[in-house]
Amino acid sequence: MGALLAEVNGSLYIDDDRKIIRDKAYTLVKQYADELKEFGQFVFRKDEEHVMLYASKYLRNKKAEYRRKKKEEENTQEEAVS
């Protein structure tokens, strides 16, 4: 019974050539997109409008949230000292 189960489960993981090509293409495009984003951030570092186009909205939001929380903590500490 165990041998039959192993054979069935093993057949589920046979790679399809189309899937392999798709995965390789995605990886290659992602690498180029990440490289382009990195260069864009450097080249346009002095132009705020262009920098935002090459930066992740998710990371901008996370950084803003971190700064907001840090400012709130500083304010509560100042109030505690007063």
The pTM is what?
Answer: 0.49
Across the chain, mean pLDDT equals: 83
Instruction: Name the DSSP letter for residue 15.
Output: P
Distance, CA of 45 to chain centre: 20
Distance, CA of 32 to chain centre: 14
CA distance 50 to 39: 12
Q: Quick: pLDDT tens for 23-44.
A: 999 999 999 999 988 888 888 8
pLDDT score recorded for residue 82: 66
When pLDDT is cut at 50, 70 and 90, the band that residue 53 belongs to is: confident
pLDDT score recorded for residue 8: 66
Span 43-56, average pLDDT: 79
